[in-house]
């Protein structure tokens, strides 16, 4: 018989606050067209993107995260000292170690919070949210900060016609804390590593270091293959998340998919047969694809504009490089 005492965590967890940060510089499609042979009409029709934000030298991964996190902590009505965990999802922090989460935890003023980075691409926010929920229910932290942050402009090949217009920078954060009732549903997540070549870094860092390639590594993707996978397979995952939460699409108030491409969003809405009353996040139009940051940034904007409100039931789903995915149903803060 085990002598280990049971954990004293909360019965459930919920999102208590949300915050976002978008870099000051707004980049219209016209700037992208300086380096690729395309048109504003083509970019809008293929992706829905009109503008995106690109970070300056001062808007580092850590700096953007701190700005977004401060807003989320204030929105949650707690202090930084109460944060027991900081989880950062990013693929664009270029120091292998230490984790940028440790710097963020320190500068926010947490009292030695557990802090670590995860790499799960565009599904990273969902992965982090699931880990935070587990920490709270298990009892290892009362409040956990989950951050999705990217400076994808650093990993964009401006001469690649297939991807140059897609990516943006920014940070989104949420505070997850205890709840007396279910407010973050079961997560449906997974990976399909046999499709890892469809979204990838062009070459390893070592190839650039050793002079085997002259061009800095960038993110590339097979657009049509990713589109088909996202539309058909991720709609199934989204439905599984609804089923796991015990609700139907009629019970939804809001749909917040990863802001990869508006055509993908439209196709998922159609495949899921979402009712007209469901508010659909379309932050991609002015923010672009910010990978791990896209869901919390879209959530923050919907709440700030009043398109969504506190207590709404939202389906969130992220999907991307790996290929990986994560979907769950949440109650909005």
Active site residues: 122, 258, 289
Tell how far CA 127 is from the center of its chain: 9
Answer for the pair 73, 333: CB distance below 8 angstroms, yes or no: no
Phi/psi for 322 (5° steps) reads 150, -55
The encoded tokens of residue 308 equal: 């969504």
Cα 279–Cα 281–Cα 286 angle in degrees, nearest 5: 140
Q: 284: which residues sit within 8 A by CB, 6+ positions away?
A: 47, 48, 49, 259, 260, 261, 262, 265, 294
Answer for the pair 152, 290: CB distance below 8 angstroms, yes or no: yes
The encoded tokens of residue 41 equal: 């009409």
C-alpha–C-alpha distance, residues 109 and 139, integer Å: 21
The encoded tokens of residue 27 equal: 């980049």
User: What three-state secondary structure class fits 117?
Assistant: strand
The encoded tokens of residue 15 equal: 């999102």
| Residues pairing with 316 in the sheet | 256, 328
Cα 201–Cα 207–Cα 213 angle in degrees, nearest 5: 90
H helices of 194-256, where? 205-209, 223-228, 234-245
C-alpha–C-alpha distance, residues 109 and 36, integer Å: 44
The encoded tokens of residue 129 equal: 């949210």
């Amino acid at each position: 018989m085990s002598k280990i005492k049971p954990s004293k965590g909360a019965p459930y967890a919920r999102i208590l606050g949300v915050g976002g940060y978008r870099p000051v510089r707004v980049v219209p499609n016209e700037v992208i067209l300086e380096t690729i042979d395309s048109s504003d009409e083509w970019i809008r029709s293929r992706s829905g993107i009109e503008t995106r934000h690109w970070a300056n030298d001062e808007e580092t991964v850590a700096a953007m995260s701190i700005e977004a996190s401060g807003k989320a902590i204030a929105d949650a009505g707690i202090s930084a000292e109460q944060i027991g965990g900081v989880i950062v999802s990013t693929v664009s922090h270029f120091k292998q170690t230490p984790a940028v989460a440790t710097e963020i935890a320190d500068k926010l003023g947490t009292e030695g919070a557990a802090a670590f980075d995860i790499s799960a691409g565009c599904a990273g926010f969902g992965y982090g949210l699931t880990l935070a929920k587990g920490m709270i229910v298990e009892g290892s932290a009362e409040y956990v900060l989950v951050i999705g942050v990217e400076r994808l402009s650093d990993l964009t090949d401006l001469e690649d016609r297939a991807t140059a217009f897609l990516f943006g920078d920014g940070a989104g954060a949420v505070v997850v804390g205890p709840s007396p009732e279910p407010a973050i549903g079961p997560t449906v997540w997974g990976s399909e590593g046999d499709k890892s070549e469809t979204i990838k870094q062009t070459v390893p860092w070592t190839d650039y270091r050793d002079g085997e390639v002259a061009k800095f590594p960038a993110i590339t993707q097979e657009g049509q293959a990713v589109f088909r996978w996202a539309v058909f397979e991720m709609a199934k995952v989204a439905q599984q998340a609804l089923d796991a939460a015990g609700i139907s699409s009629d019970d939804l108030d809001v749909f917040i998919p990863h802001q990869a491409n508006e055509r993908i969003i439209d196709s998922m809405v159609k495949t899921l047969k979402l009712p007209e009353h469901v508010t659909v996040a379309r932050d991609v139009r002015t923010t672009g694809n910010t990978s791990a940051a896209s869901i919390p940034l879209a959530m923050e904007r919907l709440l700030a504009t009043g398109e969504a409100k506190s207590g709404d039931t939202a389906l969130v789903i992220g999907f991307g490089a790996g290929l990986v995915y994560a979907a769950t149903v949440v109650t909005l803060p």
